[in-house]
A and B are shown apart, each in its own frame.
Chain A
């Protein structure tokens, strides 16, 4: 009898131990749905380094932005995009939905941010950032009052962004700004003004992304007078830009408000870009544009800023232009393009303003090479260095695509590859 009592006690203890163990294995508890709006922010303020914070499924209405600052190694994980929805429809404060700042190590995974008044998710001055399975969107359609950026890492080092979806941003769905060592892959961007934009960013690999129904599919830009003065070395491949003919709903004054609907890919004032094996199809205005900063007509002050596109290598892409007669007439740049293209969808338009003193392998005064992008390429070089009025363009433009038939050596990506191999 005594012994059996002891056995019962023993099994009870064992059971207790097991269940204790099991709850250990289960990991940190998911935040309770009740009062999540307050407890989530509190957790982010009081988190210990390295903690995982789990969000329950459901839709939660926030009035103020959510922020995490300084605390390293945090993971914020929801039940999946479309399952855990943080809605900012009633937001009264904060210029973004979620702000992550000054953090080394942050993983954001498995949730949706909708209807923030400004940017949806901004990570600023962070290191080792992962965006995974996230969604950012505005649910009221294409409005100029939507937030500017969906997924927005800026001034960050080591950024991995994958399997995310970004839509209805009035600037860019995905915007990687002034960052270094960046991988953007397997994302889907749609119904934004710019689908995906890489700006003043160094060492980037952008692949397997799909851009559909934006005003312009994908952009690689450098902007002047910024702390990271220039971007550099972007490998851009296996992406699909399909039918980006959406209206431009960006407010005037933003650089993207000048983008003509029907643009597939736009490169501007950025250097060392290898663009290959992408599919660019169904664009009514122009499939690929390559321009210097001068085409914007905006002044700049920085002496460090390089306004030219240099070492641009575009090869082995599939270009299937959209139907003729639908070029954009809604923007000034669209009207210019429509005039010079006589209403035909173009494959390439370049401004022809090249960095002085950089002849290519053929001795031409450019550093662009374009090869194997299909037959019967429709190409315009505006030769805008001779003038930027419509009359100048008519007088000076040429269609000599063959002039750029060359190859460029691969650029050195050792630093970037080392980081990538560690992922």
Chain B
């Protein structure tokens, strides 16, 4: 009898231990083949749709994000125990093998009323496989209980109320795996786009208080070779005037929205148009640049940018088009980013070149 009791107690304790173990110390493992379900990675704890990060899964944000049909993005980074990214000046941080960037795309049902909830459309993982990064896509179900692995993407109708209280609707396009590659390809390699020092250098409100993201990454061991005593590059936030001049904010916008292809080693290098943040304001940025193969994208105009004349600048025309054969960016949107077009138009309007 006693023996049975002891056994039972031990067993109970053991079970408790196991359970505890599971709760307190979630093991994230990234398999060589993608999991079928997003929940299997255990990036999030509790109700999946709450996107409450597990231990060592760190949320982050960018100074100027890529426009994606007005979808919001909840971004997270995770790195294997004992590894960290290395500080880099101009390009994307040098992430360790096994690092994962987790990006959730969602719509607020009503931008003016957060209590109406949100709809998560998809979650994209970028996994550093060592030789290159792999893009893995998950599509959320209608019930918002799970997201499932899918390589060919999908098109889903989405409805929401925008910040001005107007009802909006669009066919939200979830990219296929090749389209992920298409944007993330640099030279012959697939790499992340956002997490550069200049984009991450901003304050973020964490669960345990506000902190500069670079400092936080360094504090949790996710960033090495970071010298807190130095001033670090920082791009402007395109829609916040106090963060930079009109030119700086526009270049920040073009950098994140265009330069992943429009750079000397990107997919659009065949066009000769380079839009990285530090590019000098000349022909390669489009000033009086005739097109090479813009096709319908010219809109009947001759130059990418005609200083002082946004209405006759191809750049503005292509940003303002939603025809797949003419619009820019080519992928990732079906709506026009009105506020982005306004910014670039104002920049061209006020542009003075010799």
Q: Which of B268-318 contact A (CB under 8 A)?
A: 269-270, 272, 282-284, 288-296, 298-303, 314
A116 and B325 contacting across the interface, CB-CB below 8 Å:
yes
The reply on A101 being an interface residue by CB < 8 A is yes
Q: Mark A289-300, 1 if CB is under 8 A from B, else 0.
A: 000000010111
For residue A194, give the distance in angstroms from its CB to the closest CB of chain B: 12
- Asked whether A147 is an interface residue with its Cβ less than 8 Å from the other chain, the reply is yes
* Contact A253 B298, beta carbon cutoff 8 Å: yes
Report which of B177, B293, B299 forms a contact with A251, defined as CB distance below 8 A: B299
Pick the residue among B289, B291, B331 that contacts A254 (CB under 8 A): B291
For A155, what are the chain B residues with a Cβ–Cβ distance below 8 Å?
Answer: 270
* A117–B284 CA distance with the chains assembled, in angstroms: 26
Q: Is B203 an interface residue (CB 8 A)?
A: no
A164–B173 Cα gap in the complex (Å)?
33
Known contacts A94-B331, A178-B270; A253 and B295 CB within 8 A of each other: no
CB-nearest residue of chain A to B296: A145
Instruction: Give chain A residues whose Cβ lies under 8 Å from the Cβ of B284.
Output: 225, 301
Q: How far is the CA of A224 from the CA of B292 in the complex (A)?
A: 9
Query: B302 touches which one: A68, A117, A177, A252 (CB < 8 A)?
Result: A252
A255 engages B290 (CB within 8 Å): yes
* B280 CB to nearest A CB, Å: 11
Q: A67-B179, A253-B291 are in contact. Are A95 and B151 (CB under 8 A)?
A: no
Nearest-neighbor residue (CB-CB) of A152 within chain B: B293
Indicate whether B162 reaches chain A with its CB closer than 8 angstroms: no
The reply to whether B152 and A38 form a contact with Cβ atoms under 8 Å apart is yes
What distance in Å separates the Cβ of B218 from its nearest Cβ neighbour in chain A? 35
Q: Is B56 an interface residue (CB 8 A)?
A: no
User: Which residue from B155, B272, B289, B301 sits with its C-beta under 8 Å from A63?
Assistant: B155
Determine whether A102 belongs to the interface, using a CB cutoff of 8 Å to chain B. Answer: yes
CB-CB under 8 A for A226 and B270, given A42-B151, A147-B325, A149-B295: yes
Contact assessment for B267 and A124 in the assembled complex, using a CB-CB cutoff below 8 Å: yes
Whether B176 sits at the interface, judged by CB under 8 Å, is yes
Contact A94 B330 (CB under 8 A): yes
Give chain A interface residues in 121-155, CB to chain B under 8 Å.
124, 144-149, 152, 154-155
Residues of B within 8 A of A171 (CB): 293, 295
Residues in A whose Cβ lies below 8 Å from that of B283: 225, 299-301
- B292 x A226 contact (CB < 8 A): yes
**In chain B, what residue has the closest Cβ to A229?**
B272
Given contacts A92-B171, A102-B188, A155-B270, contact A254 B324 (CB under 8 A): no
Whether A252 contacts B178 by the Cβ 8 Å rule is no
Inter-subunit contact B151/A94 (CB<8 Å): no
B181 at the interface (CB under 8 A from A): yes
Rounded to whole Å, the gap between the CB of B82 and the closest CB of chain A is 31
In which size bucket is the chain B interface? 35 or more
| B323 is an interface residue with CB less than 8 A from chain A | yes
Main SS of chain B's interface residues? loop
Interface string of B319-330 (1 = CB under 8 A from A): 000011110001
Within 8 A of B (CB), among A148-186: 148-149, 152, 154-155, 170-171, 175, 177-178
* CB <8 Å contact, B324 and A117: yes
Nearest-neighbor residue (CB-CB) of B301 within chain A = A253
Q: Report the Cα distance A224→B289, complex, angstroms.
A: 10
Complex contact A147–B295 (CB within 8 A): yes
Considering the chains assembled together, what is the distance between the CA atoms of A91 and B284 in angstroms?
Answer: 31
Could you say which interface size class chain A belongs to? 35 or more
Contacts A92-B171, A94-B331, A124-B267 given: A251-B296 contact, CB under 8 Å?
yes
Nearest-CB distance from B327 to chain A (Å)? 8
Nearest-neighbor residue (CB-CB) of B268 within chain A: A124
B298 near A252 with CB under 8 A, answer: yes
Q: B288 to chain A: which residues have CB within 8 Å?
A: 299
Assess whether A227 is in contact with B314, with CB atoms less than 8 Å apart: no
Contacts A177-B293, A225-B284 given; does A251 touch B298 at CB 8 Å: yes
B126 within 8 A of A: no
Q: Does B62 contact A (CB under 8 A)?
A: no
In this complex, which of A91, A147, A225 has the most chain B Cβ atoms within 10 angstroms of its Cβ?
A225
Residues of A within 8 Å of B193, CB to CB, are none
Chain B residue contacts of A124, Cβ below 8 A: 267, 270
Give, as a whole number of angstroms, the nearest-CB distance from B156 to chain A: 12
Expressed in whole angstroms, the Cα–Cα distance for A299 and B353 within the complex equals 15
A364 to B353, CA, bound (A): 40
Are A42 and B152 CB-contacts (below 8 A) given A93-B173, A225-B289, A254-B291?
A: yes
Whole-angstrom distance between the Cβ of A240 and the nearest chain B Cβ: 26
Q: Is B182 positioned at the interface, with any CB of A under 8 Å from its CB?
A: yes
Q: In the bound complex, how far is the Cα of B188 from the Cα of A67, in angstroms?
A: 16
Taking CB atoms and an 8 Å cut-off, the chain B residues in 19-44 that contact chain A are: none
B334 within 8 A of A: yes
Give the CA-CA distance A273 to B300 in the complex, in Å. Answer: 32
Contacts of A227 in B (CB 8 A): 264, 269-270, 272
Chain A residues with CB below 8 A from B102, complex form: none
Bound-state Cα–Cα, A63 to B293, Å: 23
User: Does A54 sit at the interface, judged by CB under 8 A?
Assistant: no
Q: Roughly how many angstroms separate A147 CA and B293 CA in the complex, as a whole number?
A: 11
**B295 contacts across to A, CB distance below 8 A:** 118-119, 147-149, 170-171, 254
A93 CA / B270 CA spacing, docked (Å): 21
B289 CB contacts on chain A under 8 angstroms: 225
Contact between chains at B324 and A118 (CB < 8 Å) = yes
| Cβ-defined partner of A94 (8 Å) among B181, B267, B324 | B324
Residue B120 at the chain A interface, CB threshold 8 Å: no
Q: Are A69 and B293 in contact (CB under 8 A)?
A: no
Set of chain B residues within 8 Å of A117, measured between Cβ atoms = 296, 323-325
Distance (Å) between the CB of B324 and the closest chain A CB? 4
Q: What's the Cα separation between A322 and B122 when bound, in Å? A: 60
In the bound complex, residues from chain A placing their C-beta under 8 Å from that of B293 are 148-149, 152, 154, 171, 175, 177
Q: Is the CB of B185 within 8 A of A69?
A: yes
Q: A38-B152, A225-B283, A301-B283 are in contact. Are A67 and B300 (CB under 8 A)?
A: no
Q: What is the bound-complex CA distance between A365 and B303, given in angstroms?
A: 33
- Pair A101/B290 contact, Cβ less than 8 Å: no
Query: What separation, in Å, do the CA atoms of A67 and B182 have in the docked complex?
Result: 9
> Which of chain A's residues have a CB closer than 8 A to the CB of B314?
253
**Residues of B participating in the A interface, judged by any CB pair closer than 8 Å:** 151-153, 155, 171, 173, 176-179, 181-182, 185, 188, 264, 267, 269-270, 272, 282-284, 288-296, 298-303, 314, 323-326, 330-331, 334
12 A-B pairs whose Cβ atoms sit less than 8 Å apart in the complex: A46-B151, A63-B155, A67-B179, A67-B182, A92-B155, A94-B331, A101-B182, A118-B324, A118-B325, A124-B270, A223-B292, A255-B291
Which 7 A-B pairs have CB atoms at the shortest separation, nearest pair first? A148-B295, A253-B298, A117-B325, A118-B325, A67-B178, A95-B330, A225-B272
Q: A93-B173, A94-B330, A253-B298 are in contact. List 8 more A-B contacts (CB 8 A).
A: A95-B330, A101-B181, A117-B323, A148-B293, A175-B293, A251-B298, A253-B299, A254-B291
